[in-house]
A and B are shown apart, each in its own frame.
Chain A
């Protein structure tokens, strides 16, 4: 899986490309841990190129959401492919996460 990371206007952006599973999520989790330690307030993760997610991938997001909430940060997941969104829905996590259709919408929610 490819992980692209960029920063703009104090917002940390991630774009993931590939499959987020038990094999790839530890690397992504490690990158996010760094942000959690710095207590980065605004994080946007674009999932449009993520074709597959498993329970390890979901667990990574749940952990990040918990930690960001704890220090008053915000996490936006955007552009989920139908197959990935459906896994969030089955786990009822679509009610917990802020899932948006576009990066613009995600940015509006952050401001």
Chain B
């Protein structure tokens, strides 16, 4: 099964150069570490400063960890990740076929936390400029994480 996040028709010839790459991962913590290196390499070539790149990297990893924990509940499964870069933004879409988990509905924690845990979703929302959960995707979860290139940091 595939998600609907595979690359769309290239707009490069319209003067809007962009890069798209997709990855199919197993819901396995070791694979997420390997994928982090691949994403780091993509972000290194993107027109983002080091701080913003680090923020995207962490947000994506937190989102993937959530898929393992909440959607697949630490059992096996597939995760599809699409990376898109255009003039304005970096967009990373993460899709799984596990249990529904809409992290945009998770309320922000009271900070600072006085007990361990509960920071992952908060970090994702704080580190990215936009987080969209696609409710039309019936087979699992489809999340879009967006970072705009010319936006000042929050």
Indicate if the CB atoms of B61 and A23 lie closer than 8 Å.
Answer: no
CA distance A96 to B116 in the complex (A): 13
Q: A52-B57, A86-B54, A95-B112 are in contact. List 16 more A-B contacts (CB 8 A).
A: A21-B33, A23-B30, A23-B32, A52-B58, A54-B65, A54-B120, A55-B62, A55-B119, A55-B120, A56-B65, A59-B117, A59-B119, A66-B116, A91-B119, A92-B112, A93-B112
**Binary interface profile of B, 15-31, with partner A (CB < 8 Å = 1, else 0)?**
00000000000000110
From 79 to 108 in chain A, residues with beta carbon under 8 angstroms from any chain B beta carbon are 83, 86-87, 90-93, 95-96
B2 adjacent to chain A (CB < 8 Å): no
From B113, which residue of chain A is reached at the shortest CB distance?
A: A62
Indicate if the CB atoms of B54 and A90 lie closer than 8 Å.
Answer: no
Report whether over half of chain A's contact residues are helix, strand or loop; otherwise say mixed: helix
CA distance A91 to B62 in the complex (A): 14
Q: List 7 A-B contacts (CB under 8 A).
A: A23-B30, A55-B119, A56-B65, A83-B50, A87-B58, A87-B123, A90-B123
CA distance A105 to B65 in the complex (A): 35
CA distance A80 to B99 in the complex (A): 37
Indicate if the CB atoms of B115 and A55 lie closer than 8 Å.
Answer: no
A residues contacting the other copy or chain, number (CB 8 A): 23
A63 adjacent to chain B (CB < 8 Å): yes
On chain A, the residues within 8 Å of B30 by CB distance are: 23
CA distance A22 to B33 in the complex (A): 9
From A88, which residue of chain B is reached at the shortest CB distance?
A: B112
From A94, which residue of chain B is reached at the shortest CB distance?
A: B112
From 26 to 79 in chain B, residues with beta carbon under 8 angstroms from any chain A beta carbon are 29-30, 32-33, 50-51, 54, 57-58, 61-62, 65
